[in-house]
Structure 1
Amino acid sequence: MGASNSREPDAPATAPPRASQMSSNCPVAEEPGALPEGSCPLPEKYRSPNVYNVYNQKVDPSGAQQSPMLRHLLASAKLDPRNNMPLEPNQRPWPGQEKPISTERIVSTIPKGGTDGTWVYPSPQMFYNALMRKGKGEDVKENDMDSVILAHNSMNELTWRKVQQWEGLHPVTQSEATLLRFCGRPDNLSPLAWVHSWLDGRLPFDRHDWYVDRQGQEVRYVIDFYFDEDKAGSPDAFKLRVRPALDSVEAGMDRLRMNIYRKCAQWGVPCPLTGAPSQHHDAEQQHASSPASA
């Protein structure tokens, strides 16, 4: 698994346009034969001198002033649609990297859809490269990466446990659920996160959508990630809100049932749906208790 971000551009279907075709206000004529290839219909005095690449970044047409990061970005744009990581993991040091970073990868407990195995987490070096590739590595130091990858892996494991608790509403298929793919959507505020932001002013620092295979049925889960500055440095600093997306009536019913189970467990009263006795649970269980515990 890796640091995903849906904003990262997909690999171009064709070769990137030539510099002469990428002026910010000088498009190439689309009608064949209307103008010579690469010519511009605007008079010279109105043309912008700026040239932009396929990522809307201003570049030197000669390529001499392109940064190592930009050249690397253009060369490694082919991504795995399941996690938005490069199809061929890059374990090489990033251009300009000052210290070596571990290339060890850890196997997760999360079953990978379509295989008999589990997802494998990126190494600290791969994660560092991904941050730099996405322009998020300005404040990240090489010495930070072991801690960063530990927090990343722990959050993913906790997320899967919470997904499994939701899948516990479907005990026949719970043990066979697998994670097909996932994507980061940090700029797309979920409706629940929007409501909570109005109530307490807190915004998630990230959002993921996870796609789970439930015996051939694809189920989307929405995960909001929160960080509590007051608890920085402790395990309680990170909070997750995990729930099935409201893509179906079944998902809506699951949310209703789970809320009833949670409240019964929190209040210590018998569950009105199952009649089972309830008991108080710790903070994590209160946020995602299973039907069996309600």
Structure 2
Amino acid sequence: MADKCPVDHQSQSAEKCPVDHSSRATWGGLFSKGSPSESTPSLSAERELSSIPKADDGNWVYPSEAQFFAAMARKNHNPQASDMKTIVPIHNAVNERAWAEVLKWEVGRGGERCGGVKLINFKGKPSQMSPKARCMTLLGYTAPFDRHDWIVERCGTRIRYVIDFYTGRPGPSSSDVSFYLDVRPALDNWEGLRMRAENVWQSWTGGLSSKTTPP
């Protein structure tokens, strides 16, 4: 049975999901607005199946509200139980968007010959700024609040994708939180270099298609 979801928690437990423990505290801070309530709402134990294929069989599974809360509590991050009904769906939706951006890069690159690309490995790196993000902050842009590295396999070829998470402009309500994701192949092997070079060339020549447009 599929019982994991995409980014490690600095352990190999069955509660893996797309934000590690330190990242969860960061994500929780984006939504928590007040002090803990004396009454703790009931937290769901149901888990949502992701659209992200695993290396073996089935898809990754996101954590339940109860698991998300428990993981934050174990790390003394003072989670708000009432926030879980907001954090968990957004956490899942953002990771679905990240996978969709990976698939944009992968369109037309042959993954369909072997059943489609799959997420093999993953790592949350909230304290390690990517070179691109570091350069952007030097130019005055806001730093990302989180970073993930996802290892994707395409018919035996492995590509590392770097995902920087940024908070976007707030919506009409003061409680709205939006996100911008910068997803791209890492420049640590020939395939990643080739993909990024092709994208730059297409941009220069005006031939950039919607099939391969990164965020």
Category of TM-score, reference length = shorter chain: 0.7 to 0.9
Alignment match of 2:150 (pick from 189, 192, 210):
210
Which secondary structure state, in structure 1, belongs to the residue aligned with residue 98 of structure 2? Answer: helix
**Quick check: 1:79 aligned with 2:79?**
no
Match of 1:57 in 2: none
Match of 1:113 in 2: 55
On the 8 A contact 1:184/1:207 being kept in 2, the answer is yes
By how many angstroms is 1:262 displaced? 4.8
In 2 relative to 1, CA 179–227 (structure 1 residues): closer, same or farther, beyond 3 Å? same
CA RMSD of aligned residues (A): 3.2
On the 8 A contact 1:2/1:127 being kept in 2, the answer is no
By how many angstroms is 1:97 displaced? 8.6
By how many angstroms is 1:216 displaced? 1.8
- Whole-angstrom CA distance in 2 between matches of 1:101 and 1:196: 39
Q: Deviations over 1:141-190 (max 9, x none)?
A: 111111101111111110111101111251x2155101112121001110
One-letter amino acid matched to 2:118: T
Match of 1:288 in 2: 214
Match of 1:46 in 2: none
For normalisation by structure 2, the TM-score amounts to 0.75
How do 1:1-294 and structure 2 match up within 5 A?
Answer: 1-2=4-5, 4=7, 8=10, 10=11, 79=13, 98-115=40-57, 117-135=58-76, 137-138=77-78, 140-170=79-109, 172-174=110-112, 176-228=116-168, 230-231=170-171, 233-234=175-176, 237-262=178-203, 269=206, 271=207, 288=214
Q: Deviations over 1:16-44 (max 9, x none)?
A: xxxxxxxxxxxxxxxxxxxxxxxxxxxxx
On the 8 A contact 1:225/1:241 being kept in 2, the answer is yes
By how many angstroms is 1:259 displaced? 3.1
Higher RCO structure, 1 or 2 (CA under 8 Å, sep 6+): 2
- Whole-angstrom CA distance in 2 between matches of 1:102 and 1:212: 31
On the 8 A contact 2:168/2:179 being kept in 1, the answer is yes
Q: Figure out how many residues of one structure are paired with residues of the other and give that number.
A: 191
**Structure 2 gaps, min length 5:** 21-37
- Whole-angstrom CA distance in 2 between matches of 1:254 and 1:238: 25
- Whole-angstrom CA distance in 2 between matches of 1:233 and 1:110: 29
- Whole-angstrom CA distance in 2 between matches of 1:98 and 1:113: 38
In 2 relative to 1, CA 4–109 (structure 1 residues): closer, same or farther, beyond 3 Å? closer
**Structure 1 gaps, min length 5:** 11-77, 86-95, 272-277, 290-294
Q: Deviations over 1:55-100 (max 9, x none)?
A: xxxxxxxxxxxxxxxxxxxxxxx63597598xxxxxxxxxx99332
Which secondary structure state, in structure 1, belongs to the residue aligned with residue 42 of structure 2? Answer: coil
By how many angstroms is 1:128 displaced? 1.1
Percent identity between the two aligned chains: 33
One-letter amino acid matched to 1:186: P
In 2 relative to 1, CA 97–203 (structure 1 residues): closer, same or farther, beyond 3 Å? farther
